[in-house]
Amino acid sequence: MAKKNKPIDAQKIHTTTYWKLVWIHFKKHKAGKFGFYTLLFMALCGIFADFLAPVHPQARDSLAILAPAQLPHFFDSKGFSLRPFVYGIKTKRDPITLRPIATLDKSKRVYLQFFSHGFKYTLLGIPLDVHLITGENGQKIHFLGTDEFGRDLFSRLLYATKTSLSIGVLGVLTAFVLALIIGGISGYFGGIIDYLIQRFTEIIRVIPVIPLYMGLAAAFPKDWSSSKIYFAITIILGLIGWPTLSRRIRSQFLSLKNEDYVLAATVAGASSYRIISRHLLPSFISYIIIDLVISFPYMILSETALSFIGLGLRPPVLSWGVLLQSAQRIEVIVHSPLLLFAPAFCIFVAILSFVIIGDALRDAADPYKTHY
């Protein structure tokens, strides 16, 4: 109601394209925006993992085994400090079990340095060694603690985010390309082709997923490099995911094929190619994008599950599933539960964000509704 007095530029409103209209409606959906920015944040964390990680993810800090989280402070009993700091780690041995126990040493302040030097990495081919935050004088700091080898959880989480999210994207894209070809041909041509393809799809769908995963993953030669395994997992995910998506694409094609404007295009002399590219695809892309967004969580969960049971990615490649897999030990759960909960929380947040975005997109996907 407050916008009543804004002069409406009719021409501008009437010439906005479909995607702009969808974006305008999407922005109004508060939860959707939240989900979107959360995912964006996670993606950026993953992309700039090298820059953001204070310590190398594989570096073992023998002085900090299963260390607790070193959270940054600005003041404590000694007073206020403009420069944030973390408490140091001191290690004692338990007299009975001889197990090293790491605790926070509140007497020792380790100040944080910004844009300082750390371990080397390459970004777009340029060798760099600047990091956002490191400990002063090259001291290792662990915001979320360490694992049983002294490896920093925070840094590992950043790299795991990059891998898990990218596998989700690639898996969905693979499934989508397969589903588009198979479902598209099935829906557009109909008849016997459709019949045969649908029966084939049903056979594929009937195969139980976990044994299939296990079979395929176990077939990887042991000497494959981690990147080869990475791509192989992506392809497996795509191969498992295409049937559901292809069904949706096929039904969209079938229903759109008989729309009046498609018939009108035929009457106007359009070739099959033009009908598909100019008339069918743009309309159904909007529905399919929602399906794709909903598929992401399944892909991420699939990769996590595979890696969790040890059949997917393996160390030194880092993903949320791999982190969860390494956290499957009683001493971890008892002494450093963060090793389990931190990756689980990341998974939870990522999936929730995708689902919320999918909901918001679904609401926004029909911007031509007149709201009287």
Partner 1 sequence: MKPILEIKDLKVYYQLSKGFFQKSKQTIKAVNKVSLNIPKGQTIGLVGESGCGKTTLGRTILNLVQPTSGQIYFYKDQEKIDLTSLEAKKWKTLRKHIQMIFQDPYTSLNPRMTIRDIIAEPLVNLKIYPKKEINDKVEEIATRCNLHLSHLSRFPHTFSGGQRQRVAIARALILKPDFIVCDEPVSALDVSTQADILNLLTEFKLDFDLTYLFIGHDLSVVAYISDVIAVMYKGRLVETGPTDQIFTTPKHPYTQLLLSSVPAIDQRNLIQDQEITIFERNDLTLGEKSCPFLPRCPYGETICLNQEPELIPISSERFVACHLFSSSQFDQSTIAQPEERPHATTLSH
Partner 2 sequence: MNRDQNPTLLQVKNLTVCFRAHGGTILAVNDLSFDLNKNQILGIVGESGSGKSVTMQNILGILPKNGIVDPNSQIKFNSSRYGEIDLLKLKPKEKKWFKLRGSEIGIIFQEPSAVLSPIYKIFAYFKEVIDLHLPGKSKTEIEQMAADMLAKVGIPNPSQCLAQYPFELSGGMKQRVLIALTLVTRPKLIIADEPTTALDVTVQAQILRLLKKLQQEFELSIIFISHNLGVIRQIADQVLVMYLGEAMELGLTEDVINRPLHPYTSLLVKAIPHFKSKGNPLVTMPGSIPNPLERPTGCPFHPRCPFVLNDVCSKQHPAFINYENGRKSRCFYLEKHKSRGVPVETHFRN
Q: Which residues bind partner 1 (CB under 8 A)?
A: 11, 13-18, 259-261, 263-271, 274, 278-279, 282-283, 368
Binder of partner 2 out of 2, 7, 8, 330 (CB under 8 A): 8
Minimum gap (Å) between residue 365 Cβ and partner 2: 17
Contact between 2 and partner 2 (CB under 8 A)? no
Which window, 1-9, 126-134, 234-242, 349-357, contacts partner 2 (CB under 8 A)?
A: 1-9
Distance CA 51, CA 121 (A): 8
**Token reading at 218:** 């176990």
3-state secondary structure of 249: helix
Binder of partner 2 out of 1, 82, 268, 330 (CB under 8 A): 1
Residue 263 touches which of partner 1, partner 2, none (Cβ within 5-8 Å per kind): partner 1
3-state secondary structure of 92: strand
Residue 372 touches which of partner 1, partner 2, none (Cβ within 5-8 Å per kind): partner 2
Residue 4 touches which of partner 2, partner 1, none (Cβ within 5-8 Å per kind): partner 2
Answer for the pair 61, 150: CB distance below 8 angstroms, yes or no: yes
Of the candidates 147, 294, 190, 173, the one whose C-alpha atom is nearest the C-alpha of residue 235 is 173
Residue 331 touches which of partner 2, partner 1, none (Cβ within 5-8 Å per kind): none
Distance CA 206, CA 187 (A): 21
Residue 1 touches which of partner 1, partner 2, none (Cβ within 5-8 Å per kind): partner 2
DSSP 146: B
- Strand order of the β-sheet with 126-135 is 73-76, 79-93, 100-123, 126-135
Residues 247-306, interacting with partner 2 (CB under 8 A): none
DSSP string, 186-238: HHHH-HHHHHHHHHHHHHHHHS-HHHHHHHHHHTS-TT--HHHHHHHHHHHHH
Minimum gap (Å) between residue 357 Cβ and partner 2: 23
Comparing CB distances to partner 2, the nearer of 21 and 31 is 21
Distance CA 86, CA 309 (A): 35
- Cβ count within 10 A of residue 15: 9
Site string for partner 2, 333-362 (x = CB under 8 A): ------------------------------
Contact between 371 and partner 2 (CB under 8 A)? yes
Minimum gap (Å) between residue 360 Cβ and partner 2: 18
Comparing CB distances to partner 1, the nearer of 17 and 137 is 17
Q: Which residues of 296-308 are buried (b: 16+ CB within 10 A; e: fewer)?
A: bbbbbbbbbbbbb
Comparing CB distances to partner 1, the nearer of 109 and 257 is 257
Comparing CB distances to partner 2, the nearer of 222 and 371 is 371
Minimum gap (Å) between residue 3 Cβ and partner 1: 19
Residues 16-55, interacting with partner 2 (CB under 8 A): none
Residue 193 touches which of partner 2, partner 1, none (Cβ within 5-8 Å per kind): none
Contact between 14 and partner 2 (CB under 8 A)? no
**Token reading at 131:** 């990091």
Task: Give the start-end residues of each E strand in the chain.
Answer: 73-76, 79-93, 100-123, 126-135
CA dihedral (38, 39, 40, 44) in degrees, to 10, reads: 110
Q: How far is CA 320 from CA 2, 156, 232, 317, in A?
A: 47, 9, 18, 10
Residue 225 touches which of partner 1, partner 2, none (Cβ within 5-8 Å per kind): none
Of the candidates 241, 277, 252, the one whose C-alpha atom is nearest the C-alpha of residue 186 is 252
Binding site for partner 2 (CB under 8 A): 1, 3-4, 8, 371-372
